[in-house]
Amino acid sequence: VIVTLAGGVGAARFLAGLLDVVPPGDVTAIVNVGDDFVLHGLSISPDLDTVTYTLAGEVDRQRGWGRADETWLVMEELERYGGQTWFGLGDRDLALHLYRSQRRAEGATLSEITAEVARAKGLGVRLLPVTDDRLATKVVVPGEGELAFQDWFVGRRHALPVEAVRFDGAAESRPAPGVLDAIASADLVVVAPSNPVVSIAPVLAVAGVGEAVRRRRDDVVAVSPIVGGRALKGPAAELLSTLGAGATAVGVARWYASEVGTLVIDELDTSLASEVAATGVRCVVTDTVMRDRAAAAALARVVLGAVEP
């Protein structure tokens, strides 16, 4: 089984490519829930939904999140009351949020609900939230103090500089059922090309998960989300330069050095390969930019071959 540690859009595209290469029953995705929050009384799990919609072929391809063929009648109506429309929940997307929130109210866990949704959509892969417990990413912004993740990311368009990141609840959280076993028994653990600081770090912060991954270090392959000093999507470059060891493939290698045995970097960064290797992380160079499904599948093939059996 191939276990993938996943954030949102980058991970979802990688997983779609991986599923063109291996049968869905051989794939488990362990997904970040540090972005989750409650709004309008609804339980929102952006990364789980991005992965689910993408693998179901239902995602809005331009945005990378939310449903394709979406309409926004409810948000338009809500706007008239002065309701909270800064975080856009489309009409179709709202159905999934109603379902999840009702099931939560009935006492179902997030992993149970996630499995139900995946089954309803006919996904053969195993999708696991990293934890069923509360995990809330917080960012510290100079002059503003601590902001909830979505207040910073969507509400403030991740424009404010970040001084620190904290994963509220991580120390008390328990891995969801199946998470530790999946990591321990995986043939390969892939760290998807997600944001290392706010998508993968919260996954590794759940009690026992980081340790389980470090134990498998020789079989852990990460794909660098930084290409040519930039992130293809989102604020990974800014966060790695302020909180990490720089917004380059070498910075990614340093960030992951204790968890990851092999880092896959882009051809654009070929000149950095020896510097990556000097951090103690094996380096594989390939085209990592997932322009389309075929490119994602080609990347998945390289990742699968990156560790010698």
Q: Which residues bind ligand FO1 (CB under 6 A)?
A: 7-8, 35, 46-47, 49-50, 65-66, 87-89, 93, 150, 153-154, 199
Q: What's the CA gap between 36 and 59, in Å, rounded?
A: 18
Q: What's the CA gap between 101 and 38, in Å, rounded?
A: 9
Q: What's the CA gap between 164 and 176, in Å, rounded?
A: 26
- Supply the minimum distance, in Å, between the C-beta of residue 235 and ligand FO1: 9
- Supply the minimum distance, in Å, between the C-beta of residue 154 and ligand FO1: 4
Q: What's the CA gap between 185 and 200, in Å, rounded?
A: 20
Nearer to ligand FO1, 150 or 279 (CB): 150
Q: Which amino acid is at 252?
A: V
Q: What's the CA gap between 190 and 3, in Å, rounded?
A: 6
Nearer to ligand FO1, 113 or 186 (CB): 113
Nearer to ligand FO1, 8 or 175 (CB): 8
Nearer to ligand FO1, 84 or 102 (CB): 84
Nearer to ligand FO1, 110 or 283 (CB): 110
Please give the DSSP secondary-structure letter assigned to residue 39: E
- How does DSSP assign 55-103, residue by residue? HTT-B-TTTSSSBTT---HHHHHHHHTT---SS---HHHHHHHHHHHHH
Q: Nearest to residue 264, comparing CAs of 304, 294, 214?
A: 304
From the centroid of its chain, how far is CA 58? 18
- Supply the minimum distance, in Å, between the C-beta of residue 135 and ligand FO1: 13
Q: Which amino acid is at 235?
A: P
Nearer to ligand FO1, 9 or 189 (CB): 9
Contact (Cβ atoms closer than 8 angstroms) between residue 264 and residue 40: no
- Supply the minimum distance, in Å, between the C-beta of residue 53 and ligand FO1: 8
Please give the DSSP secondary-structure letter assigned to residue 53: H
Q: What's the CA gap between 195 and 203, in Å, rounded?
A: 11
- Supply the minimum distance, in Å, between the C-beta of residue 156 and ligand FO1: 11
Nearer to ligand FO1, 200 or 306 (CB): 200
- Supply the minimum distance, in Å, between the C-beta of residue 79 and ligand FO1: 13
Instruction: Give the strand pairing for 42-44 and 37-39.
Output: antiparallel
- Supply the minimum distance, in Å, between the C-beta of residue 90 and ligand FO1: 8
